[in-house]
Amino acid sequence: MSRKGVGLAAFDRSRLTSAQYATHGNNLRTSHSTSLATQLSVFRSLLQQFAQTHAKDIRSNPTFRAEFARMCSAIGVDPLASSSGAGGKDGGGSFWAQLLGGSVNDFYFELAVRVVEVCGATREENGGLIGVKEVRDRIMSTRPEGSAEITDDDILRAVETLKPLGSSYSTLKVGHKTYIRSVPKELNTDQSAVLEAAQVLGYVSVSMLMVNLRWPRARAATAIDDLVSESMLWVDKQCDEYEYWSPGFMLEVQDEGSLG
């Protein structure tokens, strides 16, 4: 049988215990939160110290920068998130802006401006869809010799910084390639499949899609026509069967050329 008392005193006792539990819980919570707060402030100052000592590296060394960003995200700190809304009197910029006096932040903002420029300049030829690598190559080619290297990772982070502006810039993964999309346009699955197929050789044709994706002719032709009308494919009519080329391939070819 139950060992609990059965008299009226049992009610008092249970009230007492729950009150004790509550106080104890409160105590635990406060001690936890103070210790957490201490840890956090220690961590913050350490991170700050680290970032300040390595500010130059973060700015100039892309691997280092990527690692630092990865470290921040691993511990749940979004270095690019703006804290201006919730921030206190000194919270004017993002986490990094506070830490580094804006230099890293500025780096990404400047890069974002360049990304927007490249996307704008090439929108006519690619329908507003451009590979991250192409963007990087274009930006690198216009930078003076010996300027700091930028990576695909940096480009993606820069695109992230555009988000608060409510802009239409977003990233999109098709096949093994990441694209930056600068027009608010959704690709349907067929169109994505065509673009993915075009990554292999740089082009597709109707019968290639029919053979490889087992599509009926009409489906292949529709998907291709859609992409052509969006400027996302260019047609080459000087061959047996029309070939539809991905404009991103223009840049890749040149790359190989300059390396060779």
Partner 1 sequence: MTSNHDPSILSPDRTLPPSNPPSQKTFPFPRDYHFPPYFTRQPTLTTRHAQLQKWSSLILSYCRYHKIWKLSLADAIESDLFWNKKLGKRLSREDAREVLEFMRKEGRSEAVGGKDGSVFWVWWRDPEEWAGLIADWVDDTAQKNTVLTLYELTESEATLSQDFHGMDPDLLQKALSILVKRGKAQVFGQEDQQGVKFF
Q: List residues binding partner 1 (CB under 8 A).
A: 124-125, 127, 197, 200-208, 211-212, 228-231, 234-245, 247, 249-251, 253-254, 256-258, 260
What is d(CA 76, CA 85) in angstroms, rounded to the nearest whole number? 19
| Shortest distance (Å) from residue 235 CB to partner 1 | 6
Nearer to partner 1, 67 or 230 (CB): 230
What is d(CA 51, CA 104) in angstroms, rounded to the nearest whole number? 10
Maximal C-alpha separation, the chain: 99
| Shortest distance (Å) from residue 225 CB to partner 1 | 9
Nearer to partner 1, 33 or 168 (CB): 168
What is d(CA 130, CA 118) in angstroms, rounded to the nearest whole number? 9
| Shortest distance (Å) from residue 236 CB to partner 1 | 4
CB-based burial of residue 223 (10 Å sphere; 0-12 exposed, 13-18 middle, 19+ buried)?
A: buried
Nearer to partner 1, 145 or 256 (CB): 256
| Shortest distance (Å) from residue 144 CB to partner 1 | 20
What is d(CA 182, CA 171) in angstroms, rounded to the nearest whole number? 9
Nearer to partner 1, 93 or 248 (CB): 248
| Shortest distance (Å) from residue 81 CB to partner 1 | 36
For residue 123, give Cα distances in angstroms to 34, 117, 201, 229.
53, 10, 22, 13
Query: What is the gyration radius of the CA atoms in the chain, in angstroms?
Result: 28
Nearer to partner 1, 65 or 138 (CB): 138
